[in-house]
Amino acid sequence: MRAVRRGIWLGLAIAMIAARADAQAAAYPLAEINFDMWCQETQHLPPARCDKRLPQDDADFESFLKKYEKYEIPYLQRRDDSIELNKVILHADPIDHPTEPSAPQTDQPANDSTYQPH
């Protein structure tokens, strides 16, 4: 019984880790990469060769996608963290950036009924 429980907990932990990895990849908008464009632009193969889409080509393309996600997701995370840092900490100064916009500054005095121009 104890071994069954341990197996269930282990299975749940593995499932949660896999789900978190999938959710992490889905949370960032990755550019969609087309096989045909990848084949012609990156592999520099002629269109007729790319149209055959051999099993080795598919394996190379999947490998490329995995490498792309491996580097692109951390890049997007760092970019979002940098934007958040910039927005929240560096530009959250209430003196330089008040929450309510002030009236435009002009060289003319305010409309005061006691003001008499010369």
State the Cα–Cα distance between residues 68 and 64, nearest whole angstrom: 6
DSSP annotation of 91? T
Average pLDDT along the chain: 76
Q: Quick one: residue 47, left, alpha or beta (phi over 0 = left, psi -120 to 50 = alpha)?
A: alpha
pLDDT tens digits, residue range 79-113? 888 888 777 776 666 665 555 556 555 566 556 55
Assigned token pair, 70? 């491996």
pLDDT, residue 15, reads: 66
Domain ranges (residues) in the chain: 1-28, 31-92
CA angle 78, 84, 89 (to 5 degrees): 125
**Rounded percentage of the chain residues whose pLDDT exceeds 70:** 54
Q: What is the pLDDT of residues 26-61, one digit of tens each?
A: 577 888 889 999 999 999 999 999 999 999 999 999
